[in-house]
Amino acid sequence: MSDLGHYGQTEKPRHKNLKQLALDGTPPVGVWVTIPSPYIIEYAALAGFDFVSLDLEHHLYSVETVCDLIRTADACGLAAIARIADKAKILPLLDFGLAGVAIPHVRSAAQARELVEITKYRPVGRRGFNNAGRAHNYGQMPFAEYAKQAADEVTLAVQIEDLEGLENVEEIMAVPGIDHLWLGPGDLAMDMGHPNDDKHPEVLKALKRITDAADKNGVTYLGTGAPIAIVDDKTYLIRAFTEARATVYEKAKASYESDRKRYAEAGLI
């Protein structure tokens, strides 16, 4: 039985290692999943994405739905990460197999240290022990092996999108155990008094301060090796439907006008 891998089927890992992809020079590209359906995960895999990002901050998903989406991602070979506002959900979802978490509205170094403690095992953090988590095959994988795997794969991203976070960004970025920075220009612009204007000079200056702090501490962000989650599934579907409808409409209109002309010439109308 020692040669059996995940779920006794294969030695192949369940999903891509986003950290390793970045180290190998391949920026991991993912898609935001806001439609809570396994079909979306399968479509993302067929399209060649490396990971899916589940938005648990702005969307209402049941825990059971999130678990099904993680299972589907694993079955398709995609890593699943999630933006999580409720820190109580971080540990059980990591134990279930989530490959990374992004935490919105990080405002202080103390908050960042707590997040590292929740997500990373010792000596970096203080993540709780679970001897039968799905992430290590319900305990069939030796825990020491899983702990090493988690250290190599599980990512923590913090999102700076408030004035308080901006004022503390140098201290936040210096906290050991943070893998990635996610910028939040929309919320930051609102907090700075420039709603819906994330290109305002003051906002751009603030974003530069944030990325400078990340650079100083080796924390990656968009364009520097962090996983890139592009526009969400709804936006792509609406755009695709709109383009398809426009194409079909123009063809149908041209055919209709051609037919009317032909019928008119034949005296049929």
Residues identified as active-site: 58
Tell which residue, 93, 69, 45, 35, has the closest CA to residue 237. Answer: 35
Rg (C-alpha) for the chain, rounded Å, is 23
Joined tokens for residue 160? 């700076």
d(CA 241, CA 107): 39
- How many residues are listed for the chain in this entry? 269
Q: Determine how β-strand 29-33 pairs with β-strand 228-230.
A: parallel
Q: Which residues contact 64 (CB under 8 A, 6 or more apart)?
A: none
DSSP reduced 3-state for 29: strand
Burial 219-238 (b: 16+ CB within 10 A, else e): bbbeeebbbbbeebbeebee
